[in-house]
Amino acid sequence: RKNCSDLNVCIRQKLQIPRGERYEVCRSVHAEANAIISAPRDKMLGSQLYLVGIDMATKDYVQSANSCSMCKRMIINAGIERVYIRDTKDEYRVIEVQDWIDQDESLEGVFGY
């Protein structure tokens, strides 16, 4: 299937779906999912994942980017220990995956990021 960048339209934006929600309608496979399905299980356990989000319209870094709820579940189940998210050219946030387990926002009905 063609990704939104190939079609020059994001179906989620077209439907006015807020950032971080309803990624099941997204046409692409997320970077987290691609990394997890491409790596052997024994290499995932205790590993680190590095992410950067680039806005297709502006080519700027996505501010306050984070993994969607589906990707968070995959990261947790893959056994990844730490996620590094690039916020600017020189700044990264470090997320301990255990924090996603201990502070599960999905139990509180929090959507998006």
Q: From the centroid of its chain, how far is CA 27? A: 14
pLDDT in tens, 14-31: 999 987 778 788 888 888
Give me the pLDDT at residue 112, please: 60
> To the nearest whole number, what is the mean pLDDT of the chain?
88
pLDDT in tens, 32-66: 999 999 999 999 999 999 999 888 778 899 888 88
Structure tokens at 84: 């590094």
Q: Give the span between the Cα atoms of 16 and 36, in whole angstroms.
A: 29
pLDDT band at 110 (very low <50, low <70, confident <90, very high): low
Rg (CA), the chain: 14
The reported pTM is 0.82
- At residue 65's C-alpha, the angle toward residues 30 and 96, to 5°, is 90
